[in-house]
A and B are shown apart, each in its own frame.
Chain A
Amino acid sequence: MKVRTVVDVFTYITGALCIVAVSGHIPFMYPLLLFAAMTLSVYLDVKKVSIPRWILTVVSVAVILYFLIRIDVQDLIGHVMEAIFVLMGIKYLERKEVRDFMQIYALALFVLAGLGLMTMGMAFVAYLLVFFLLLSLSLIFLTFYSQDPEMELTNGTVRTMIARCLWIPLLSIPLSAAMFVILPRTSYPILTFLNRPDKARAGFTDNVRLGQVSDIQEDERIIFRATMDRVDESSLYWRGITLNHFDGTSWKSTKPGIYTPARARGPIGTMVSQTIYLEPYDNSSLFALDKPVHIEFRRARKNDDLTFTIPGFIDRRIRYTALSALSNVIPEENIALKTHLQLPADLSPRLVSLAKGLAVRGDRNATVQRILGHLASDRYSYSLKDLPVSKNPLETFLFDSPRGNCEYFASAMAVLLRVNDIPSRLVGGYHGGYYNELGNYYLVPQKNAHVWVEAHIPGKGWVRFDPTPAGAAFSSGSGRGVLLRFQMFVDTINYYWYGIVLTYNLERQISITRTIASGLKRPSSFSLSPLMKKTAQYSALLAAAIGLVLLARLLITSMKRRERAVLDRFLKRLEAAGYKKHASEGLEEFLRRIGDDDLRRACMEFAREFERIYYGDRGFTADDLKRLNLLAGRIDDVERRTKSSMADLTPGR
């Protein structure tokens, strides 16, 4: 097989890989164009014709100019990728020399880099690996081609070469992984500006609008994952935002002030720490379990309603740690009454009379319970379909069409409370989530977006109430059916990919270094699970055993080798003097060939001594070896003497 053929095959596979990898990420036309070019190239190769280089060069320049003119900063990567595909296609059409192949590989590398910026998913890693293996092999065969374009190899040789040379990329994978961990990195991503901003996700919004749509689509996409231990399902309220201004159809958030510790005591409850991987979405709230106490994230701002925000939108995947006190009460006394009792001026009289009817004079607690009880009655049911669409949606919900989602229930409750002079607000966030046992994290999809109510009860503070009937699909079960379990498994892999690889930054590096350093200082604090401990113990034992066996073997062979080494040195000296022992010759037989009498005598002496011990009934002692070395050394003396006498005889000296 011609090396050229192998190189060709690898190069076409590389092109095919590029096509497969980007399909779906850039307009379909471009991969198709590359495919057509590749097909044409195969045809040209077979027919042994080629398109003149200058034509293709002109076309390439034209393509580059075209893409430069219509370049778009919004989707820089996409456009660059498209251009690369066209250029790659042209490259395939050229009569390919070594540099052309190299250029094709370089373009393919760009395609892959672009793909990395576009997706960052696990698939990218798979493509990267395949491409890496392919590229290494291609380069090796290209090296062969560059040395001799006409070189032919047998199929067996090609197979052996592939099998052996694959080790180069394979061995470099662990090395690269180590590099990934060690190499310093900034906490400010440099290349994010190249990122195509992810599409905004519906679900959580910073306002609640009623009466606009009748059907709500459930969005299965994931909004965040939270690494933490499992907690009671009733506390799975992920706080995001508070809404306190109602204008009759929608709730809005008045800009909350910065949290000041003097104004309120912190919530009291079990402290739970979470590490949250938040997907990009078009808002600025950071989520954490109710009630968040602290969020560790650059630029995160803690607001006085115990929500956290960052300036600007969350336009890329972020990771932060949050500390929450599991409690449904915020012990806060001095609240802005006016804000939290605000109601629209044109509130429906029916609603007001319903609210008054539910009041228990002088007992706020009982009033809250009655309102809650009213909404929990069979009259009202949870639904995402046929929602009330009207100008006065809350009235329609409460009296005419008692079906709604959490937004209706929460709005209704908050308004009913406010009519009764009980300060209240809506809290937006998520409720529930699937717990993934494999990865120890909660998976929260968009459809779990939720709104609940906080009412201010004197003496207690802000108390959480959730008027939405159970049965809303916030299931946090960990195993509902095989499909879900499989989805969870797939998500676990994704989770680790995001958690370990993509969000790896300077911060993590420092923390890992610290952990290792402290572990080295105080080994006892380096806690291992029992399974790990046992594994470590057994591996240590096994390693020790193997080590002992190897040591014993080394000792035995070295004993044997010592006399062999003496003999070898002896023979080497003779070889330097011009006498070489053939493998088939006996030692004495060989020595008898030596012409020089003095030398032969000296050698014989050594040989006799050696044989006496070698064929004798005892092994070589250290003394024997020393003596033998001394005897062998005499050869050099004899040799030196001979040489000097010869030098004397040489005329002119």
Chain B
Amino acid sequence: MSISGVFGKTNLSKLDLTIDFPQEIYAGSRVPVKITMRNRRRFLPAFLIGLHADRISALVPFTPVKGTSSVYTGVTFHERGLHAIEDPRVYSVFPFNFFTRFKRLRLAYTITVLPRLKACDLASLYRKEGRSRGERTSDRIGYDSDIVSIREYVRGDPIKYIHWKATARTGKLKTKEHSSLSYQPVVIEFDRVLIRDIEERISCVAYTIVQLLRNNVPVGLKIDGRLYPPDVTAVHRLNMLRELAVYEKHG
């Protein structure tokens, strides 16, 4: 019994744990979490290490000595905002399933859970107003509008964009390059969205932002007196969603 106790205790010693979260975690949806266990011991592999941290629980069956192993598990956060995951507990029933031994790891993670995305008609309102694309021609290359230039054919160009006339004239395959049409930038004024329930409103705004950006519509956000100018980059999107995530939570 005592020997198994020593083994059980050793089994939880000298373990490093890292939890990797995906960049975007939306409230209410299940996201994968990667748990990496590192065993710094020289003799005993880590057997059957379970992990309890907030909502995350996982089981790492075996980690070799001086090695790592990782497992994936799913986790769902139900509320938006900052989540602190502190002092996760590792536990194990090794070796004989008679006792469960716990150990608190000194670790802290702060993750921002983005608002739940909830389909709403904010986008359709927007469409109804006729602010559809075509109003602005951008200088970016796309497949939508006028021919901007003609260039050498590159493998993979769709056949329908081959400029047959130029091809015939030069004897080499030529491809048309069109300009792309871009959307009218949109700024969502959070306070003026007419949904009374704050959570609903946040979800709706977040959904709209995601949807519009998916369609390449530059979106900006005015919230709490701060303005995020319209843009289409991923960083910008994340910043806006994070702003929404912590809205009213910190001030």
Q: Do A and B bind each other?
A: yes
**B residues in contact with A161, CB < 8 Å:** 45, 47, 62
- Is the pair B7, A142 in contact by a Cβ cutoff of 8 Å? no
Known interface pairs A160-B45, A164-B45. Does A143 touch B61 (Cβ–Cβ under 8 Å)?
Answer: no
Stretch at the interface among B93-101, B136-144, B217-225: B93-101
Stretch at the interface among A108-116, A146-154, A584-592, A598-606: A146-154
> A168: CB under 8 A from chain B?
yes
**B residues in contact with A172, CB < 8 Å:** 2-4
Q: In this complex, what residue of A is CB-closest to B93? A: A143
Most A-side CB within 10 Å, residue of B2, B4, B94: B4
- Is the pair B48, A168 in contact by a Cβ cutoff of 8 Å? no
Known interface pairs A168-B4, A172-B3, A175-B3. Does A157 touch B62 (Cβ–Cβ under 8 Å)?
Answer: yes
Chain A residues 86-142 with CB under 8 Å of chain B are 136, 139-140, 142
Of the candidates A147, A160, A164, A171, the one whose C-beta lies within 8 Å of that of B48 is A147
- Is the pair A143, B94 in contact by a Cβ cutoff of 8 Å? yes
- Is the pair B3, A171 in contact by a Cβ cutoff of 8 Å? yes
In the assembled complex, how far is the CB of residue B155 from the closest CB belonging to chain A, in whole angstroms?
A: 42
> A504: CB under 8 A from chain B?
no
Q: In this complex, what residue of A is CB-closest to B96? A: A139
Measured between alpha carbons, how far is A336 from B4 in the docked complex, in Å?
69
Of the candidates B44, B59, B61, the one whose C-beta lies within 8 Å of that of A153 is B61
- Is the pair A143, B45 in contact by a Cβ cutoff of 8 Å? no
Known interface pairs A143-B96, A143-B97, A165-B95. Does A151 touch B43 (Cβ–Cβ under 8 Å)?
Answer: no
- Is the pair B95, A139 in contact by a Cβ cutoff of 8 Å? yes
Measured between alpha carbons, how far is A164 from B45 in the docked complex, in Å?
8
**B residues in contact with A142, CB < 8 Å:** 97
**B residues in contact with A147, CB < 8 Å:** 48, 50, 59, 61, 93
- Is the pair A143, B62 in contact by a Cβ cutoff of 8 Å? no
- Is the pair A164, B61 in contact by a Cβ cutoff of 8 Å? no
**B residues in contact with A136, CB < 8 Å:** 95
**B residues in contact with A167, CB < 8 Å:** 7
- Is the pair A139, B97 in contact by a Cβ cutoff of 8 Å? yes
> A498: CB under 8 A from chain B?
no
> A12: CB under 8 A from chain B?
no
Q: In this complex, what residue of B is CB-closest to A98? A: B97
**A residues in contact with B95, CB < 8 Å:** 136, 139-140, 143, 165, 168
Measured between alpha carbons, how far is A167 from B44 in the docked complex, in Å?
10
Interface size of A as a range: 20 to 34
> B229: CB under 8 A from chain A?
no
Measured between alpha carbons, how far is A157 from B50 in the docked complex, in Å?
18
Of the candidates B2, B43, B64, B94, the one whose C-beta lies within 8 Å of that of A140 is B94
- Is the pair B3, A153 in contact by a Cβ cutoff of 8 Å? no
**A residues in contact with B45, CB < 8 Å:** 160-161, 164
**A residues in contact with B62, CB < 8 Å:** 153, 157, 161
Measured between alpha carbons, how far is A364 from B50 in the docked complex, in Å?
95
Q: In this complex, what residue of B is CB-closest to A160? A: B45
> A144: CB under 8 A from chain B?
yes
In the assembled complex, how far is the CB of residue A142 from the closest CB belonging to chain B, in whole angstroms?
A: 7
Most A-side CB within 10 Å, residue of B3, B64, B95: B3
Q: In this complex, what residue of A is CB-closest to B2? A: A175
Measured between alpha carbons, how far is A171 from B7 in the docked complex, in Å?
11
In the assembled complex, how far is the CB of residue A412 from the closest CB belonging to chain B, in whole angstroms?
A: 67
Measured between alpha carbons, how far is A442 from B61 in the docked complex, in Å?
58
- Is the pair A148, B59 in contact by a Cβ cutoff of 8 Å? yes
**B residues in contact with A164, CB < 8 Å:** 43-45
**A residues in contact with B2, CB < 8 Å:** 172, 175
Most A-side CB within 10 Å, residue of B44, B59, B64, B97: B97
In the assembled complex, how far is the CB of residue A183 from the closest CB belonging to chain B, in whole angstroms?
A: 14
**A residues in contact with B61, CB < 8 Å:** 144, 147-148, 151, 153
**A residues in contact with B44, CB < 8 Å:** 164
Q: In this complex, what residue of B is CB-closest to A170? A: B3
Measured between alpha carbons, how far is A157 from B48 in the docked complex, in Å?
12
**B residues in contact with A144, CB < 8 Å:** 47-48, 61
Q: In this complex, what residue of B is CB-closest to A154? A: B62
Measured between alpha carbons, how far is A136 from B44 in the docked complex, in Å?
16
- Contact indicator per residue, chain B 9-22, by CB within 8 Å of chain A (1) or not (0): 00000000000000
In the assembled complex, how far is the CB of residue A149 from the closest CB belonging to chain B, in whole angstroms?
A: 12
In the assembled complex, how far is the CB of residue B135 from the closest CB belonging to chain A, in whole angstroms?
A: 45
Most A-side CB within 10 Å, residue of B43, B44, B45: B45
Q: In this complex, what residue of B is CB-closest to A163? A: B45
Chain B residues 77-124 with CB under 8 Å of chain A are 93-97
Measured between alpha carbons, how far is A39 from B48 in the docked complex, in Å?
32
**B residues in contact with A151, CB < 8 Å:** 61
**B residues in contact with A139, CB < 8 Å:** 95-97
**A residues in contact with B43, CB < 8 Å:** 164
In the assembled complex, how far is the CB of residue A141 from the closest CB belonging to chain B, in whole angstroms?
A: 10
Measured between alpha carbons, how far is A76 from B64 in the docked complex, in Å?
49
**B residues in contact with A146, CB < 8 Å:** 93, 97
Measured between alpha carbons, how far is A171 from B6 in the docked complex, in Å?
11
**A residues in contact with B94, CB < 8 Å:** 140, 143
**B residues in contact with A143, CB < 8 Å:** 48, 93-97
**B residues in contact with A140, CB < 8 Å:** 47, 94-96
**A residues in contact with B47, CB < 8 Å:** 140, 144, 161, 165
In the assembled complex, how far is the CB of residue A92 from the closest CB belonging to chain B, in whole angstroms?
A: 21
**B residues in contact with A175, CB < 8 Å:** 2-3
Measured between alpha carbons, how far is A151 from B60 in the docked complex, in Å?
11
Measured between alpha carbons, how far is A164 from B62 in the docked complex, in Å?
12
Q: In this complex, what residue of A is CB-closest to B7? A: A168
- Contact indicator per residue, chain B 37-79, by CB within 8 Å of chain A (1) or not (0): 0000001110110100000000101101000000000000000
Measured between alpha carbons, how far is A142 from B44 in the docked complex, in Å?
19
**A residues in contact with B64, CB < 8 Å:** 157, 160
Q: In this complex, what residue of A is CB-closest to B3? A: A172
Most B-side CB within 10 Å, residue of A136, A147, A153: A147
Measured between alpha carbons, how far is A153 from B60 in the docked complex, in Å?
12
In the assembled complex, how far is the CB of residue B10 from the closest CB belonging to chain A, in whole angstroms?
A: 11
Measured between alpha carbons, how far is A160 from B93 in the docked complex, in Å?
19
Q: In this complex, what residue of B is CB-closest to A145? A: B97
Measured between alpha carbons, how far is A175 from B3 in the docked complex, in Å?
9
In the assembled complex, how far is the CB of residue A3 from the closest CB belonging to chain B, in whole angstroms?
A: 8
Q: In this complex, what residue of B is CB-closest to A152? A: B61
Measured between alpha carbons, how far is A165 from B62 in the docked complex, in Å?
13
In the assembled complex, how far is the CB of residue B106 from the closest CB belonging to chain A, in whole angstroms?
A: 13
- Contact indicator per residue, chain A 159-202, by CB within 8 Å of chain B (1) or not (0): 01100110110011001000000000000000000000000000
Measured between alpha carbons, how far is A603 from B64 in the docked complex, in Å?
40
Q: In this complex, what residue of A is CB-closest to B95? A: A140
In the assembled complex, how far is the CB of residue A108 from the closest CB belonging to chain B, in whole angstroms?
A: 16
**B residues in contact with A153, CB < 8 Å:** 61-62
Measured between alpha carbons, how far is A188 from B54 in the docked complex, in Å?
58
In the assembled complex, how far is the CB of residue B96 from the closest CB belonging to chain A, in whole angstroms?
A: 5
Q: In this complex, what residue of B is CB-closest to A173? A: B3
Q: In this complex, what residue of A is CB-closest to B1? A: A172
Measured between alpha carbons, how far is A142 from B7 in the docked complex, in Å?
16
Most A-side CB within 10 Å, residue of B43, B48, B93: B48
**A residues in contact with B48, CB < 8 Å:** 143-144, 147
Q: In this complex, what residue of B is CB-closest to A176? A: B3
**A residues in contact with B7, CB < 8 Å:** 165, 167-168
Measured between alpha carbons, how far is A144 from B4 in the docked complex, in Å?
15
- Is the pair A168, B97 in contact by a Cβ cutoff of 8 Å? no
5 contacts between A and B (CB under 8 A): A139-B95, A139-B97, A140-B96, A148-B61, A172-B4
Q: Which residues of A come within 8 Å of B, CB atoms?
A: 136, 139-140, 142-144, 146-148, 151, 153, 157, 160-161, 164-165, 167-168, 171-172, 175
Which 3 A-B pairs give the minimum distances between C-beta atoms?
Answer: A143-B97, A172-B3, A139-B96
Q: Which residues of B come within 8 Å of A, CB atoms?
A: 2-4, 7, 43-45, 47-48, 50, 59, 61-62, 64, 93-97
Additional pairs, 19, CB under 8 Å, beyond known A139-B97, A157-B62, A168-B95: A139-B95, A140-B96, A143-B48, A143-B93, A143-B95, A144-B47, A144-B48, A146-B93, A147-B48, A147-B93, A153-B61, A157-B64, A160-B45, A161-B45, A164-B44, A164-B45, A165-B95, A168-B4, A172-B3
